Chain A
Amino acid sequence: MSKYLVNLKINNMPIAVEEGTTILDAAKKLNFRIPTLCHHPDLTVAGNCRVCVVEVKGAKLLAAACATPVSEGMEVFTNSEKVRIARKHIVELLLSEHNSDCTKCYKNGNCELQELASEYRIGDHVFLDLVRPESKIQDISSPSIVKDDSKCIRCQRCVRTCTELQGVSALAVVHKGDQQKISTFLNKPLNEVVCTNCGQCINRCPTGALTERNYIEEVWNAIYDPSKFVVVQTAPATRIALGEDLGIPVGERVTGKMVAALKKLGFNKVLDTDFTADLTIMEEGTELLTRLKRALVDKDETVVLPMMTSCSPGWIKFQEHIFPELLDNLSTCKSPQQMFGAVAKTYYADKINIKAQDMVVVSIMPCTAKKFECERPEMRDSGYQDVDYVLTTRELSMMIRQAGIDFCKLEEDHYDSILGESSGAAVIFGATGGVMEAALRTAYEIVTGREVPFTNLNIQPVRGMEGIKDASIKIKNVKPEWSFLEGVDLNVAIAHGLANARQLMEKVKSGEANYHFIEIMGCPGGCLGGGGQPIPTSPEIRKKRAEAIYEEDAGMPIRKSHENPEIVEIYKQFLGEPLSHKSHDLLHTHYKPRHRY
């Protein structure tokens, strides 16, 4: 249905926009940028920071451009004298309640408030400094997220993120007036409340109030320590986003440059989480087929379906808190990061003749929840902490800058072997629907002996940014040993963002949904929109990152996990077969219910 067009003028330039458009968006169409802080393309309108105020002819008060829809005949001025003065005061007022110790701030150089202060040439404080000394005590209880209330300007993006996108509401606005703050339940430390460590709040915080707990110094120390053999693994979604922080346009793949940079930083071996993503598919695909067999053939009533993926540690913790009754649905497979750690400190350490205790495993992840995951007590099956440090994509870009590496000019390099080879199926783990697609490419072939019936192996129905997707694949002409699957419609569902996951879980719980296999990724868009990815994020940016991921997949010589020669090799030499005793020891885990409130 077409909407009415509304005619208005912005800075004397006429424009017609659809009814309901905000002044902010209308101005954008005319290429006038109006500054914003509380506004975010992923979130509902708040209109509380006021920096987007504009003058509307005939109106007594300035209007917040992000929250004011256009009207017929409106005349807007985005940079009048009145607007400039007001905006400057607003920024000054925000700064009066902000700990402006920018040189010491982790977000120095990547802070929307700092940029605005610089744009408006804010000088000496005009207003009294109202930062409370007690607000400067940071909450560093979480292994993933650091909360610093003294930097908070109460724009509430984090609160909206946690509620609207993630359905968790770990953070809320509490108290009022000059006491107002963003807080957990009873202001408890983040590690004690229902927080999934997803880090989506960090991605949207315009200041340094929410940042990742960084382990940059620890990793440098390990690199400089001659007694340590430091191996690094890189998650699928890092290679399509790292460039954004280092002067490369969004959506450009930087796999080779990233490998080159990691080698220059001094890691002893640069290896790939994609290898263990392939390993995950072998284990998880087999687990799914085994569960189906037990349910359909053995009529085993203890088998729990739908099986759900377990790669996303934010999702896992969410499930442990919110739906503990569905923990048996989760695949017992560890995430690729943790499989890598366990294999690196056993199989790989033996191969290269390094003692596990001398090995340090560092992960480059698009994720902050991975920092929590690597510290879980279950993740020590090698006899040591399997993964020692997790750095986000952002932290890696910081290290690359610290090392003075001109990233754009780097020659592309290749992953080391072994544990460096991977398939296209592994790289799409970084996008919502990717684990599903990778699993189907392998499972379908195991069962039928043929490739999945989709052009170029691209299983389009499971791709895309829709919050919850489902698909059904008919399994036909199976191999004799899988005859029980003949003619079965394999029903799958995919959700990304925990608010969507919650909706899907409610359906599973009520029995309304009839799925065999469900993929959940905790973050919007999947790992490519993870809490550790370059800031900013938006639907548009995530779309470009997803395109890059599928390009990377299409360009890989091997597209299916089971065809990765290093995977074939590790089963032959070390693991035996998927779900073997050794696999269970090293690659599988269990989950524990956590408090819901």
Chain B
Amino acid sequence: MLTTETLVKELVEKNGRTRNSLMPVLQGIVREQNYLSDEAMICVAKELDLSAADVYGTASFYSFLDTIPRGKNIIRICKTITCHMQGKDDIVNALSNALKIKIGETTHDKKFTLLTTNCLGWCHKGPVMLVNDEVYPELTPQKALEIIEEYAKKTVI
């Protein structure tokens, strides 16, 4: 695996050494490392000649740029009103019980992080969840568990 420093350098090389590249660089790091470590943010500040606070400001603004360690797979369950009315709580409870974590937590084996999210734009097919970049609509607790089971099988830590 690349060290954080080399990764950031490569990303900056690719995207350009200007402030405009801050977002793609941060996204690139999250793609590789699942979150933005303190070290990664400092590396970015150094490479783009920004203050570390500035980088942290941008990183903390976006929901899909995490600044705390996350599992290999990130489950985001839609918490907005339509999904809520269509039984989002049952999905949360089912996954929470199965993974033995609460919202915002990561499993011991670092395979899953369980989060909620604002509207994913699938209100007509709620409740819905996002696992990494994949959308899963019309969930039932059973269906949600099966999906997670699949991810668990194919994830190697």
Contacts and interface: CB of A to CB of B under 8 A. Distances in A.
B53 A184 contact: yes
A255 B155 CA distance: 75
A174 B52 contact: no
Contacts, number: 49
A246 B140 CA distance: 70
B60 A174 contact: yes
Interface in B34-68: 38, 41-42, 45-46, 50-57, 60-61, 67
Interface stretch (A70-78, A163-171, A308-316): A163-171
A173 B57 contact: yes
Contacts of A183: 53, 56-57
A170 B46 CA distance: 14
Given A169-B51, A194-B51, A174 B46 contact: no
A186 B56 contact: yes
A172 interface: yes
B61 A185 contact: no
A185 B60 contact: no
A175 interface: yes
B50 to A, nearest CB: 7
Contact of A193 (B41, B53, B55): B53
A172 B42 contact: no
A597 B42 contact: yes
A174 B61 contact: yes
A171 B53 contact: yes
Contacts of A170: 51, 53
B119 to A, nearest CB: 14
Nearest to A596: B46
A163 B51 CA distance: 9
A172 B46 contact: no
Nearest to A195: B53
B50 A185 contact: no
A351 interface: no
Contacts of A104: none
Which secondary structure dominates where chain A touches chain B? Answer: loop
A184 B55 CA distance: 10
Given A186-B56, A597-B42, A597-B45, A176 B51 contact: no
B38 A174 contact: no
Contact of B50 (A169, A173, A174, A184): A169
B46 A185 contact: no
Contacts of B55: 185
A172 B56 contact: yes
A183 B67 CA distance: 14
Nearest to B50: A169
Given A194-B51, A597-B45, A597-B52, A172 B57 contact: yes
A176 B50 contact: no
Nearest to A171: B53
Nearest to B118: A177
B90 to A, nearest CB: 27
A421 B45 CA distance: 48
A171 B57 CA distance: 9
Nearest to B58: A172
From A173, A183, A194, A597, residue with most partner B Cβ within 10 Å: A597
B148 to A, nearest CB: 28
B115 to A, nearest CB: 15
B53 A175 contact: no
Given A597-B42, A597-B45, A597-B46, A168 B51 contact: yes
B41 to A, nearest CB: 8
A148 to B, nearest CB: 18
A540 B102 CA distance: 56
Interface in A104-147: none
Interface in A250-289: none
Interface string A173-213: 11110000001111000000110000000000000000000
A168 B54 CA distance: 10
Contacts of B46: 596-597
From B46, B52, B55, residue with most partner A Cβ within 10 Å: B52
Contacts of B57: 172-174, 183
From A173, A186, A193, residue with most partner B Cβ within 10 Å: A186
A169 to B, nearest CB: 3
Nearest to B52: A185
B61 A175 contact: yes
Contact of A174 (B42, B45, B51, B56): B56
Contacts of B51: 168-170, 172, 185, 194, 597
A169 B54 CA distance: 7
Contacts of B52: 185-186, 193-194, 597
A176 B61 contact: yes
Contacts of A172: 51, 53-54, 56-57
Contacts of A596: 46
Nearest to B45: A597
Contacts of B41: 185
Contacts of A163: 54
Nearest to B59: A174
A597 to B, nearest CB: 4
Contacts of B53: 169-172, 174, 183-185, 193
A170 B52 CA distance: 8
A186 B60 CA distance: 9
Nearest to B41: A185
From B50, B53, B54, residue with most partner A Cβ within 10 Å: B53
Interface of A: 163, 168-176, 183-186, 193-194, 596-597
23 contacts: A168-B51, A169-B50, A169-B51, A169-B53, A169-B54, A170-B53, A171-B53, A172-B53, A172-B54, A172-B57, A174-B56, A174-B60, A184-B53, A185-B41, A185-B51, A185-B52, A185-B55, A186-B38, A186-B56, A194-B52, A597-B42, A597-B46, A597-B51
Given A183-B56, A186-B67, 4 more contacts: A172-B56, A174-B57, A185-B56, A194-B52
Interface of B: 38, 41-42, 45-46, 50-57, 60-61, 67
10 closest cross-chain pairs (CB), A and B: A172-B57, A169-B51, A185-B52, A172-B53, A185-B53, A174-B60, A597-B52, A597-B42, A175-B60, A174-B57
